[in-house]
Amino acid sequence: MGIRSMPAGKRTDRRVARTRKALLDALHSLICEKDYDSIVVKEILDRADVGRSAFYTHFVDKDDLLAHGIHDIVGGLPARHSQSDESRNDGPLWFSQTIFEHVDRQRRTTIHRLGRRGAAILHQRLNQVLVKMIAEQLDTEARKQHKRDGGIPSDLLAQYLAGTFVLVLNWWIESKSQISPSAVNDLFSSLVMPVLASN
């Protein structure tokens, strides 16, 4: 019986995933060493051992690469949430504690090297990703509970929750506050829970 070869599509997907991870890891390691604005694409390519054409197949520039890095934080969150403690009922705020904890691990090493422009790129992408994920969860919960129209539209509520989260996150980083991830998460919850409760 011959050895079955992996389908070409799967081989390609794995190769693409490895390339993207190598580039993101290279950017992250460079940010640990120097300010984001001083990093050039050639340094990323050399560190990742990836060709220029492969880089531009996936990303427009280093800003685009940085923005895609946000998926390392939030890309797998829905699956982890759904497979975790079934009794937990965090509703549309299930993501917040995990992201605050992730940022807390990074903010003493790499985040301060991003600078205002790098941070703005990350926050913009984080906001976009969260709006989509929160809106999907709100729609799912509304269907389960057979809610009728009349409350705050889910897309507007999702934008409010994501925007407030990014605002609190930015304040926490910029102010260099020493409060814990759990405490800043409580602050975020206190700002948005009255709106959620009234909806």
The domain that contains 22 carries what CATH number? 1.10.10
Does residue 151 sit within a domain? yes
Give Rg (Cα) of the chain: 20
For residue 41, which amino acid is it? V
The answer to whether position 84 is within a domain reads: yes
- Whether 3 maps to a domain, the answer reads no
Evaluate if residue 49 carries a pLDDT over 90: yes
CA atoms of 179 and 177, how far apart (whole Å): 6
Do residues 53 and 80 both lie within one domain?
Answer: no
Structurally, the chain folds into a number of domains equal to 2
Query: Would residue 29 count as lying in a domain?
Result: yes
pLDDT at 20 over 80: yes
Residues 85-102: what's their mean pLDDT? Answer: 73
Give the range of the structural domain holding residue 135, as residue numbers without chain letter. Answer: 70-198
Domain assignment present for 1? no
Same domain, 90 and 114: yes
Do 81 and 115 have their domain in common? yes
In a domain, 2, yes or no: no
- Supply the DSSP symbol for 63: H
Same domain, 33 and 131: no
Q: Give tens-digit pLDDT for 113-125.
A: 777 778 788 888 8
Same domain? For 81 and 159 the reply is yes
| Per-residue pLDDT at 9 | 57
Token digits for 40?
């050039």
Confidence of residue 181 (pLDDT cuts 50, 70, 90): very high
The average pLDDT across 6-30 equals: 80
* pLDDT, mean of residues 1-22: 68
87 with 165, same domain: the answer is yes
Which of the two residues, 38 and 69, has the higher pLDDT score?
38
Is 46 in the same domain as 130? no
Measured CA to CA, the distance from residue 44 to residue 49 in angstroms comes to: 8
Residue 78 lies in a domain: yes
33 pLDDT band, cuts 50/70/90, is confident
Give the C-alpha separation, 33 to 5, whole Å: 41
How high is the pLDDT of residue 83? 43
The predicted pLDDT at position 81 comes to 46
Q: Give the per-residue pLDDT at 92.
A: 82
**Residue 139 sits in the same domain as residue 74:** yes
* Whether 87 and 182 share a structural domain: yes
Q: Name the pLDDT band for 152 (thresholds 50, 70, 90).
A: confident
Q: Indicate the residue among 21, 42, 60 that finishes a domain.
A: 60
47/145 same-domain check: no
Q: Give yes or no: residues 77 and 109 share one domain.
A: yes
Q: Is the pLDDT of residue 36 over 60?
A: yes
Residues 126 and 144 grouped into a single domain? yes
In a domain, 190, yes or no: yes
